[in-house]
Amino acid sequence: MKAIGIILAGGNSSRMQELTSRRAIAAMPVAGSYRAVDFALSNMTNSHIQKVAVLTQYSSRSLHEHLNSSKWWDFGRKQGGLYLFAPTITQENAFWYRGTADAIYQNKDFLQNSHEPYVVIASGDGIYKLDYNQVINAHIDTLADITVVTTELPEGVDNSRFGTVVTDEENRIVSFEEKPLQSSNRVVSTGIYVIRRRLLLELLEKSIKDNNYDFVSGVLTRYKNQKKICAYRMEGYWSNIATVEDYFRTNMDFLNRDIRDSFFKEYPDIYSKVDDLPPAKYNPTAVVKNSLIASGTIVNGVVENSVIFKKVYIGNNVTIKNSIILNDVQIRDGAYIENCIVESRGTIPEGARRVGEGEILIVDEKVDRY
């Protein structure tokens, strides 16, 4: 019990377009059976961090519903467990979370009432597997004040929306560059931090006092020289969902056997809320190629290079290519879908044609169902 966890799950991004009009990014369905926040939560529980706060704000209903029981991540504890903190109006405070630092500081009671020496801060929109204990151990070994987990972006991923990090030979971070316009540096911060609990409280207090509500500018960049901020380079897959393209690519990455195996077959597991859906069913006309299919789905048509989430109904003579079909969608007979993300609970009418030309088309067609 060396650490407590904080998962920042309040964020939203306009670059997710309509996808986040209904839910926070942390609640975005990922890889057929999961939600984005499952990865950070599972990493916490797999790292034996048993007291975790999830800070929510934007469109949090779907996220709260997902987290309504903490037992699936084994947080159903008498001591510790899962805490959900949405902004609240109090005698002293009537603001929403004005930034990441403010979000944590508004819940400083959680920090003050804990006795664990370290805090692991993670975001709810990262897709990765990481043992946070390794980061904590590195943090202790390097005598760092703050440790920032970094990763090297793979080829083809645009670095301009990340914070790039430059380190010296002792892994100490010498410069941060937020969202560089032109930079060849592909080492970026993953938004995962380890810091001593008391130091975090102290730095947050100063930052908030100066009306700086953002963790990166108010804490990291500001104390870059006074405090020892070290980098911990994480190996393995890491993806951050912030744009439609990221979201699409991240899901499609799971069609790659190596990536899939690293999440699904290697120890430890990623957990999620259990939905009690029956196995997927393939009727005689089904043709499925290179696709992920989640439980509760019934397939009558053709599915290629796609990710089909839970409880999707795919009618006769339907063709789905290179698309993501989110939970509980009904695709009626004869529909043709290519390069699309079909929103949850949508209904695609009979014979409809939905094709993303040149870019991914987000299809959100709701028919009221009761």
| Site residues (vs other proteins, CB under 8 A) | 31-34, 71, 255, 260, 263-264, 269-272, 274, 276, 278-284, 286-296, 298, 303, 307-309
d(CA 370, CA 366): 12
Nearer CB in complex with other proteins: 210/275: 275
Nearer CB in complex with other proteins: 31/337: 31
Nearer CB in complex with other proteins: 160/283: 283
Give min distance, CB of 295 to other proteins, in A: 5
Give min distance, CB of 324 to other proteins, in A: 12
Nearer CB in complex with other proteins: 150/250: 250
Nearer CB in complex with other proteins: 284/358: 284
Give min distance, CB of 23 to other proteins, in A: 19
Nearer CB in complex with other proteins: 115/369: 369
Whether the Cβ atoms of residue 91 and residue 59 lie closer than 8 Å to each other: no
d(CA 15, CA 241): 10
d(CA 279, CA 310): 10
Give min distance, CB of 32 to other proteins, in A: 3
For 84-88, the CB contacts below 8 A with 24+ separation are 84/53, 84/54, 84/56, 85/53, 85/54, 85/55, 85/56, 85/110, 86/55, 86/56, 86/57, 86/60, 87/57
d(CA 83, CA 70): 9
Please state, as a whole number, how many other Cβ atoms lie within 10 Å of the Cβ of residue 216.
19
Whether the Cβ atoms of residue 10 and residue 102 lie closer than 8 Å to each other: no
Whether the Cβ atoms of residue 237 and residue 253 lie closer than 8 Å to each other: yes
Nearer CB in complex with other proteins: 144/307: 307
Nearer CB in complex with other proteins: 159/250: 250
Which residue, 127, 112, 100, 143, is CA-closest to 25?
Answer: 127
3-class state of residue 259 by DSSP: helix
Give min distance, CB of 356 to other proteins, in A: 21
Give min distance, CB of 73 to other proteins, in A: 11
d(CA 361, CA 346): 14
Give min distance, CB of 284 to other proteins, in A: 5
Give min distance, CB of 71 to other proteins, in A: 6
* R_g of the chain computed on alpha carbons: 21
